[in-house]
Each structure stands twice: as structure tokens, then as C-alpha cells.
A and B are shown apart, each in its own frame.
Chain A
Amino acid sequence: MESELLIEDLECVYKKTSALTDTPLHYCPGCGHSIVHKLLMEVVEEMGIQDQVIGVAPVGCSVFAYHYMDIDMQEAAHGRASAVATGVKRVRPDKYVFSYQGDGDLAAIGTAETIHTVNRGENIMMIFINNAIYGMTGGQMAPTTLSGQVTSTSPYGRDTKQVGFPIKITEMLALLPGAYYVTRQAINNVAACRKLKKALRLGFENQKLNKGTSFIEVVSNCPSGWKMTPVEAMTWIEGNMFPVFPVGDIKVSK
């Protein structure tokens, strides 16, 4: 009784964004998806565009994103989120459309759709969560898995002579004239999250101005797949992911 009174007296300075549903997240403790979902929906709420956004979820850990984001969404086949988003945007050009994909989805099975969506300069925001592993299927090697990184399908470490190198698809996409804004952000600390949130907002703002594709890579984590605690995973991002996937804007068009 006393504690309830106490809460009533407090001024609310922070709360969950209304653009997220109350469905409990299925993500593992410490997973970057939860952070990116929250930041993305905060931007939607702050811009007042909840009724004008259509999202496209991928196959992978974020396959259930439509359970958490309180907006109209479509769930795409593996790798095809940007093609689905193209279909939505082409028939609803006045709406804000984003695709949300992981590294296996966007940079392996969906590489062709990724490249051609950006090359057409589709006026959408593509969000690319890079955690260097296939999380949903249990920690297999991804196209962005680091050289020597141990996964369930590279148990002796990624052998680049056999299976190639971690693909820097974001840098590749920046070469395309259709790419208007290309950036790589991260979720490893509060400052990084703030920068990421700004980038996500810019992605929607560019869309309103009909500028072409905004491509936002997020260097994220997978504590379960990496077999680390959440804190260890954040530290591992800094020590191992950043040297290969450096954070910062890659292309900012004028």
C-alpha cells in the first residue's frame, strides 16, 4: 500500500515507448535485437508516424519482430525482406517502409535482393543487424563471421581459405549510386545507442524527402551463440568486431 502511494507521487521521466507492444520479448538476455527494436520504435513514436510505417521482418532471430512492434508489418521469406519492402513501398509510396534483417538473411541468401534494392535506390530504410552468426538456428557460421571465429559449423575457427572472408557488404553497397545514406552503428554502450537512434531517425527523414536508400548496419551481439555473458559479448564487440567492422558513417550524400 505504501509503495503504491510512493509510485503515484513520482514524476514519470522515462517509460516504454507506446509503439512497442506488451508481448514479452523472446530474445536471449543481453541480445542486441531488443535494444534496436526499442530505439526504432522510440523514433517512430517521437516522429508521430506510427500510423504511417510498414515494417518487414526477416527469417532469423527477429522473425517475430511483428509481435513486438505495434505497427503494420509483413514477415518475409529468408533473404527477401528488401524485395518485399520494395513491393510495399512501390504501391504505398507515401508510407514509411523499413526492412529489418540479420547477416545471414541480408548478406548470404538475400545478397542479390540486397544489392538490387539499393541499386534501384528504393526509398526505404534497410536495417542490417550484424552479429557475425546465425542465431536462430543455433550459432552457425554467417557471411560476417570473423576469420578464425568458432561457430557450430566452423568448429575449428573460420578458415578463410575454405569459406572466404567476413563480407563487408555495407562498404560494397556504399559504392552504389542508389545508396543515399550508409552508416555502421553499434549497441555496445549508451553513447553508441544514442548515435544509432539518430541514424534511424535520419533513415526515416531521408525517406520523407524521397532521397533513396538509407542503409544502417548495426554491429550487434549474440551472447548465446558466442557462448558469452552479456557483458563479455559487449566487450567482445569492441575488441573483435570493430577492427573488421569499424563504426561510423560510410556515405552521407549532400
Chain B
Amino acid sequence: MEEINKTEARLMKGNEALAEAAIRAGMDAYFGYPITPQSEILEYFEAEIPKRKGLVLQAESEVASINMIYGAAGAGARVMTSSSSPGISLMQEGLSYIASAQLPCLVVNVVRGGPGLGTIQPSQGDYFQAVKGGGHGDYHLIVLAPSSVQEMADFVFDGFRLAEKYRCPAMILTDGALGQMMEKVVLPEEGSLPHTIPAWATNGKPANKERNFITSLFIQPEKMEMINIGLQEKYKQMQCEVRYEEFHTEDAEVLLVAFGLSARVCQKTVELAREKGIKVGLLRPITLYPYPTDRIKELASKVDFMLCVEMNAGQMVEDVRLAVNGEKPVFFKGRMGGMIMSPEDVLEEIESIIEKQSISA
């Protein structure tokens, strides 16, 4: 990842740090609709953008927001929207069109507990939706999972950069706790992410040039298959963007795998376990798509078992199991509906697994 100049430390909410970072990242336009627990993003833009630069528009729905994003991205602007789970569900049709038309944009999902209207408390229940496509057809988003207010700000820059590099929608998959909590954040410097209008954009056809059109309609199956092959090729190229963080994995006998807020809980569990002499390590995927499959596979040969910890009913654990491919046992510990597990809960789970394994051995 490119090093971004950082100059200024502030105490900020995750949602506000993210919004401030977007302004500093040179976002041309934001289209959004209020929903808890992410309304501060829209509110921040409405207060700040008139005094600074860019454009903010409160749309009549998430459906309208994502289609405004389509139009503005197609015209070559650097654009962003944000919402929380039910609103992101409403955007899925638009995201499928954006992925197919190969438009760059940044979408932020400050996840809340579901399904349905659910709760406004934090959750990781939208993992499947985020990393497996979410809308119709074969496509992926680039998915970044912050675990601190600092990363809420930093990943805006990474999100725009990756979206534009691959002409692919990028998503920051965070949750209500990271959006609402306050932490120290060193904000990235303004103007460090240059942007020009791409040649493919619909910006008015110059007299001596072919017209540009943005579409996701390829009625001949032969052509549609070629478009799909191109998309899949792009997803393969993206694999080099995999990012993850490791904590005490060198000598780990037990590996925790967790992203976002759950990874922060697990970091504490690692410390508690090591105080008790249990060699626990943590792998935190930072990119959820592309996924650190290869690293998880490598670690499988070194540990006794893995425990995947998520604030859902067990979603990322499926990708961990695919990576491990039966080589070692992969267990799951989760809370749902807006509940967060404690570091002690996770430690208790580890101890119980060890006990059961030693009995069966």
C-alpha cells in the first residue's frame, strides 16, 4: 500500500473520520440516504462540503443513491456512497450494474444486525453479501475490512485507489461499533491521491472521437460470455492486492481468524491465552475480497486447529475451511443480532476445544 502523508491527529468517530478522509481523498461527489448507524457520514458531508470542495446530495432512497453513483462514476467522477445493511441490500441491483459496466466507486457498509430491519447494533452478518457479489450475476467487489478508526480513514484512500485501478466497485465493510466509537486518528493529507477524468467516461463526445457509452447490456450470449471472461480475468489479477495482519502466529498452536471488530476482541484473547501459557495467534484478513487463502493454507500446516470468530452465524468460516481444505479442524465461535463476544468468551471456547481434543486423543 502506498504511504500517505499524515499530519494531523484528532479524536473522531469512525464515521466522521471516514467522511473527512473522503474529502481529503478528493472525492468529487457523494450520494446517500440516512440510516443508523452511519448517518454521521451524510451529516458530516452536508456540513463540510459547502465550505470546502466536492458535492453532496441526499437522495430519495438508497436505490436512487447507487444509480446516481452509476451516472456520476460513468461521467468520470470519483464518487462514494454509504449505508447500513438494509440500505445496502437495496443497492444490490445497482452494484451488479456498476460491476458489469466496470465503473469505479466506493461503497461503505456500516453493518448492523439483521436479517430484516434487525437492530442498529454492530454485526458482521453482511460478509456473504459483500464478498460473494451480493447482486445478480458473477461479479465481486473489492472488500476492505477496517478494525480501527484509523483504518476507517485510511481505507477510503485504498478503496478509491483500488476501485480506479481495476475499474471495479470497492466496499469498506465495517460495523456500527467502528462507525460510532471515538479513537485517535491521524488524518491523511489532502491532495495526495490525484484523479483525472478517464478516457472511457461519458463526458461529451469530441468531434474527432468515437462516442463512449456505459452499459451492462450485451444481448448476444457470445459477447456476454466474453465480458464475463474479462471480469474473471480482472478478479484473478486482483489477487496480488491481498492484505492481512498477523499477531503472534510464529509459534502459534491455535490460530484465531477474525476480521474487523472481532479481530480486536481476538487480539485481547491472544494476550490472555498467552498469559495462561496457551500459544494462540491471530490472522486478521484486511482484504475480504481478494481473500488471504494462500496464507491461511500455509498456517494450517503449522497449527493444531483454527477458530474463526465472527459477529454472525458463521460466514467467513466457510472461506477459512475452503483454504484449509480439511487439513486441520476449523471451529467457529460467533454472536449474532448485534451482540459482541468478549475476549474471555473466545478464550473459554479455545480451552473447551483443547479439552475435548485431548479427551478424544
Contact = CB atoms under 8 A, between A and B. Distances in A.
Interface of A: 50-54, 56, 63-64, 66, 70-77, 80, 83-92, 95, 112-113, 115-116
Given A54-B204, A92-B203, A112-B60, A71 B211 contact: yes
A56 B204 contact: no
B137 to A, nearest CB: 13
A84 B65 CA distance: 9
A70 B94 CA distance: 26
B203 A54 contact: yes
A70 B206 CA distance: 11
Interface stretch (B6-14, B72-80, B295-303): B72-80
B202 interface: yes
10 contacts: A64-B217, A70-B211, A71-B211, A74-B70, A80-B67, A84-B67, A84-B71, A87-B29, A88-B72, A92-B75
A163 B59 CA distance: 29
Contact of B71 (A52, A66, A85): A85
A88 B64 contact: no
B64 A90 contact: no
Nearest to B202: A72
Contacts of A77: 67, 70, 93-94, 97
A87 B216 contact: no
B341 interface: no
Given A66-B215, A87-B71, 4 more contacts: A51-B204, A72-B205, A80-B94, A87-B68
B68 A74 contact: no
Given A73-B213, A75-B213, A116-B60, A95 B71 contact: no
Nearest to B61: A112
B72 A75 contact: no
Contacts of A85: 71
Contacts of B217: 63-64, 75
B327 to A, nearest CB: 44
B214 A74 contact: yes
A91 B72 contact: yes
A56 to B, nearest CB: 7
A87 B67 contact: yes
Given A72-B211, A75-B216, A91-B28, A84 B61 contact: no
A76 B66 CA distance: 11
B173 to A, nearest CB: 23
Contact of B72 (A64, A90, A112): A90
Contacts of B74: 74, 84, 87-88
Contacts of B202: 54, 72-74, 88
B205 A80 contact: no
Name the interface size band of chain B.
Answer: 35 or more
B89 interface: no
Nearest to B74: A74
B74 to A, nearest CB: 5
B139 to A, nearest CB: 15
A238 to B, nearest CB: 34
A52 to B, nearest CB: 5
B215 A74 contact: yes
Nearest to B210: A70
Contacts of B107: none
A90 B29 contact: yes
A195 B73 CA distance: 35
Contacts of B57: 86, 90
B278 interface: no
B60 A87 contact: no
Interface in B232-273: none
B70 A76 contact: yes
B207 interface: yes
A86 B216 CA distance: 19
B205 A51 contact: yes
B31 interface: yes
Question: Which 4 residue pairs of A and B lie closest in terms of their CB atoms, listed nearest first?
Answer: A87-B71, A84-B71, A87-B72, A87-B68
B206 A66 contact: no
Contact of A91 (B55, B211, B212): B55
Contacts of A115: 60
Contacts of B64: 80, 83, 86, 112-113, 116
Contacts of A112: 60-61, 63-64
A53 B72 contact: no
A112 B212 CA distance: 28
A59 B79 CA distance: 24
Interface in B155-169: none
A125 to B, nearest CB: 15
B144 interface: no
A123 to B, nearest CB: 13
Contacts of A83: 59, 63-64, 67-68, 71
Chain B CB within 10 Å, residue with most, of A72, A88, A91, A116: A91
Contacts of B55: 90-91
B49 to A, nearest CB: 12
